[in-house]
Amino acid sequence: MLDTQFDVPARIVPRRGRGYERDRKSGGLLNAQQENVSYKYAGGGIISTDEDMVHLGHALNSGRLLKAQTLRELYRPQLAADIQYPPAARQRAEEAKRPVPKPPRQALIVRINDDGRGGVYSQHGGSVKGSLSQYSNFSRDGIVVALHANAWVDIDLQEAAETLAKLALGDAGATNEKAK
């Protein structure tokens, strides 16, 4: 993971991506305002590449990075099972005429989702400075997907990651509850 580091805006980072936002009037792209993310170094503010994120997932899956007991704690749901899905997400699903998904199980750093085949996968996504990212780890199947988009667009990166995993699995398929 040689391309992963804390995001220090003043530092020169070769090939650093730049995020964009849509202009509300024209619909054109504008440079996103730069942000000092050092306030969240304890839980974020790190820049990486998709390749490094895939390496991280495979290192976790193989046991090279953390002991099995530590992984179990990492993936243990931290919130009660009866927590309601966030209202904004419910509204987006209803407006898109999609079923409202079951609330994800929030573990440390990642959410745990059903894969539609009797298993689970972990995922974490986020946005900052006009860019989006998604990490999905189908550890049972040895599939790790990492995606970045440098503009806030109407693309659901979690859904895109699930689709890529499903393609990699062939007929076995991998789906989330929202795809049902």
For the CA atoms of 8, 161, 149, 95, the dihedral, rounded to the nearest 10 degrees, stands at -120
Domain ranges of the chain: 5-179
User: pLDDT category, 178, cuts 50, 70, 90?
Assistant: very low
Q: Which of 114, 172, 134 is nearest to 57 (CA)?
A: 134
Query: Minimum mean pLDDT among 46-60, 72-86, 124-138, 155-169: which range?
Result: 72-86
Residue 109, pLDDT score: 87
- Indicate the length of the chain as a whole number: 180
Across the range 96-110, mean pLDDT stands at 81
Q: Which of 53, 16, 46 is nearest to 146 (CA)?
A: 53
Structure tokens at 60: 């976790």
For 36-77, write each residue's pLDDT tens digit.
Answer: 888 888 777 888 999 999 999 999 999 999 999 999 999 999
Bigger pLDDT: 90 vs 30: 30
Structure tokens at 122: 């972990």
Spelled out in words, what is the top-level CATH class assigned to the domain 5-179?
alpha beta
Q: Three-state SS for 61?
A: helix
Q: How many CB atoms lie within 10 A of CB 10?
A: 5
pLDDT reading at 10 higher than 70? yes
